[in-house]
């Protein structure tokens, strides 16, 4: 860990295609990796004022993404049906199975150089979960980890509702991808897939709005969500001017 807090650039993106954001976060990751190589070759240290990571909050156009360990059988629509419903589909390099991204959901991408934090992928995932759990507590929602499942869950009426999915990829200890937090997401989109490959009847998908029984917009929670990640990861956020 650095003596001083790492600097993380914040990006807020809306209504973009998944491919555009995927290319964007990948370019940011590659720049960080390239910068690390330059620092190593010069035997110098990362300048304090240079951002050592990026935090992207994004609302995508409707899209299903399948992780590298997922099964295409968990997508219940064919190409024609996807086109009719105007939903994109991508198989990508994060961990996990299939999930949905779309309006009303904050998809968070953490592009962090873990050389500045720790070399522990398991801890990285747990700290993303903890950031979401502390965020939910600000709304009086008790977030939980469910044994055997990644992500954040909330128990409601004898059922567990997955409110946040997590999937990451790592290259030279620079992270890619992150989390998908349902704020006021249209949960009907999840009926076209087997979310995260989970078929148990008592394990459902939920959102902040569905659990509070009132609509909460993504723009209303940006500051609180930033604050939670800043607290857990210990970085300083550089906001757009």
Within 10 A of 13 (CB to CB), how many other CB atoms are there? 16
CB 112 within 8 A of CB 53: yes
The C-alpha atoms of residue 76 and residue 61 are separated, in whole angstroms, by 19
Within 10 A of 30 (CB to CB), how many other CB atoms are there? 15
Closest listed residue to residue 8, CA positions, set 107, 94, 117, 106: 117
E strand residue ranges, the chain: 7-16, 53-60, 63-66, 88-91, 98-101, 105-112, 144-146, 149-156, 159-171, 174-182, 203-205, 236-238
Under DSSP, is residue 192 helix (H, G, I), strand (E, B) or coil? Answer: helix
Q: Active-site residue numbers?
A: 196
Sign of the Cα torsion 155, 159, 163, 168 reads positive
Residue ranges of the alpha helices (H) in 86-235? Answer: 121-137, 208-212, 222-233
């Amino acid at each position: 860990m650095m003596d001083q807090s790492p600097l993380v650039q914040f990006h807020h993106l809306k209504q973009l295609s998944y491919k555009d954001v995927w290319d964007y976060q990948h370019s940011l990751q590659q720049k960080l990796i390239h910068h690390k190589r330059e620092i190593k070759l010069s035997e110098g240290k990362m300048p304090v004022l240079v951002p050592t990571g990026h935090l992207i909050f994004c609302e995508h156009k409707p899209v299903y993404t399948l992780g590298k360990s997922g099964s295409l059988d968990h997508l219940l629509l064919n190409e024609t049906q996807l086109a009719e419903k105007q939903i994109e589909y991508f198989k990508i390099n994060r961990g996990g199975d299939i999930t949905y991204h779309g309006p009303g959901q904050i998809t968070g991408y953490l592009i962090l150089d873990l050389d500045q934090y720790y070399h522990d992928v398991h801890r990285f995932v747990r700290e993303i979960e903890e950031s979401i759990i502390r965020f939910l507590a600000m709304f009086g929602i008790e977030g939980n980890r469910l044994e055997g499942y990644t992500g954040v869950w909330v128990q409601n009426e004898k059922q567990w509702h997955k409110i946040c999915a997590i999937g990451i990829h790592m290259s030279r200890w620079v992270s890619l991808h992150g989390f998908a937090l349902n704020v006021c997401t249209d949960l009907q989109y999840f009926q076209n897939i087997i979310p995260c490959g989970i078929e148990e009847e008592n394990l459902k998908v939920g959102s902040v709005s569905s659990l509070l029984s009132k609509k909460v917009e993504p723009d209303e929670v940006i500051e609180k969500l930033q604050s939670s990640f800043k607290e857990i990861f210990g970085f300083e956020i550089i906001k757009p001017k």
